[in-house]
Amino acid sequence: MSRNIIVFDTTLRDGEQVPGAKLNVQQKLEVAQQLKRLNVDIIEAGFPASSAGDFEAVQQIARTVGDTVSVTALARAVKSDIDAVYESVKIAQNPLIHIVLGTSNIHVEKKFNRSKDAVLQMGVDAVQYAKTLLPNVQYSTEDASRSDFEYLWATIEAVVKAGATMINVPDTVGYAVPEEFGDLIRRINERLKNLNDKVVLSVHCHNDLGLATANTLSAVKNGAEKVEVTINGLGERAGNASLEEVVMALKVRENHFGCSTGIRTEELHRASRLVSLLTGLDVQVNKAITGENAFAHSSGIHQDGLLKDKNVYEIMSPQEVGAESMELILTARSGRHAFRNAVEKMGFEAGDGEAFEQLFRQFLALADAKKEVYDHDVFYLVTNHRTVSMS
């Protein structure tokens, strides 16, 4: 039986912190609607204490999609932030208050300039206050992966006793590596389950070393029950773990992880394009799952194999993630099989023997000159070739 993994999307909070990615209220609502279509479990809609505009956006999202999706927003461990979250999300059916406070020495000493005990007490006070407002409270131990383990655990134990229902372990600066992060999650999970097995253990990974997806998956393998992710991996600096990568890795390798999510994967492509369009931030062409080339095959050997059986070079179908069907980009390395397929797909007969060989030589000459050959080029080639007739 697959373990269900809770998908928490923070595109509208961590993702929107990216320079140049500012969205207006209407645009945020459009993204939230698409997140609902994707069937994410929790939407982090913003940081309402930061501005009146953010407050309004969170409130409208809670009102619009909060009937079926849990809605949350971020608060520092201070009453005014917690009040702003409560007021903006309370209309949702299943609202959640998300509190963040650092646990690493560098955060405690440099950011707060207080003793470790005093910072821990701030966290406990914040959770106790939030619990007077809502039953569901998530506590994030910021910079957890660079924290002293016993202090990190002392914080988790204290905030769980104060009523936190979800513990989120962030790799805030993308410093962790998969084996080590998985080990951290395993150790926390073991103690947490003994303390209170109803508390949800979550992870939030950044991509500074390009390891956000790998770290998230390693955490899942070691007991994490919830993943914090963003569409297109948008987020601070190099971004967050990408929703589409984590979800598809869990789906394609379900036997390995023993986990699944409720995400409607056919909506992934649309979500990616919408976020890219609204933020003005392009998706890199070779981005896993949603990049333009994610299902494009250009080498002759691959094209030939695919035409025989898609599974030869595809581990998932483009349709499964809502992308257009498999695309064969013709180049000088494409073989006869791929070229014939392109010609016949356009409704032409490719011919046999010398007639076909002649056409293929013309194609190779064009591919050498142009590097990539598109449908309109094939059309031109075929219609100018006297020996090939319309089918």
Binding residue ranges for Mn(2+): 14, 204, 206, 240
Q: Which stretch binds ligand KIV (CB under 6 A): 113-121, 166-174, 207-215, 337-345?
A: 166-174
User: Which letter does DSSP use for residue 348 in this model?
Assistant: B
Count of CB atoms situated within 10 Å of the CB of 191: 12
204 lines the binding site for ligand KIV (CB under 6 A): yes
Pattern 79-108, ligand KIV, x by CB under 6 A: ---------------------x--------
From the list 164-172, 259-267, 284-292, 299-307, the region that binds ligand KIV by CB under 6 A is 164-172
Which residues between 13 and 42 bind Zn ion (CB under 5 A)? 14
Choose the contact partner of 279 out of ligand KIV, Zn ion, none; CB within 5 to 8 A by kind. none
Q: Which residues pair with 202 in a beta bridge?
A: 168, 226
Closer to Zn ion by CB, 14 or 245: give it: 14
Non-local CB neighbours of 134 within 8 Å, separated by 6+ positions: 86, 90, 95, 96, 97
Is residue 172 at the binding interface for ligand KIV, with CB under 6 A as the rule?
yes
What does the block give as tokens for 32? 């939230």
- Rounded CA-CA distance 270/272 in Å is 5
Q: Does 170 bind ligand KIV (CB under 6 A)?
A: yes
Task: Report how many residues bind ligand KIV under the rule CB under 6 A.
Answer: 10
The entry of Zn ion, ligand KIV, none near residue 74 (CB within 5 to 8 angstroms by kind) is: ligand KIV
* Pair 44, 17: CB distance under 8 Å: no
Q: Is 88 exposed, middle or buried (0-12, 13-18, 19+ CB in 10 A)?
A: buried
CB of 154 to ligand KIV, least distance (A): 19
Strand partners, 70: 42
Give 234-250 as a DSSP string.
--STT-B-BHHHHHHHH
Shortest distance in whole angstroms from residue 67 CB to ligand KIV: 26
Question: Nearer Cβ to ligand KIV, position 142 or 245?
Answer: 142
Residues numbered 124 to 163 that lie near Zn ion (CB under 5 A) are none
The correct pick among 18, 31, 74, 212 for binding ligand KIV (CB under 6 A) is 74
> CB of 251 within 8 A of CB of 259?
no
Kindly state the tokens that stand for 15: 């993702």
Residue whose CB is less far from ligand KIV, 142 or 304: 142
Residue 216 contact among ligand KIV, Zn ion, none, beta carbon within 5 to 8 Å by kind: none
Q: What is the DSSP string of 255-318?
A: HHH-EE----GGGHHHHHHHHHHHHT-PPPTT-TTTSTTTTEE-SHHHHHHHHH-GGGT-SS-G
- Whole-number Å distance between alpha carbons of 42 and 255: 25
The least distance separating ligand KIV from the CB of residue 170, rounded to whole angstroms, comes to 3
11, 72, 140, 202: which one contacts ligand KIV (CB under 6 A)? 140
Residues that bind ligand KIV (CB under 6 A): 14, 74, 100, 140, 142, 168, 170, 172, 204, 206
Which positions touch Zn ion (CB under 5 A)? 14
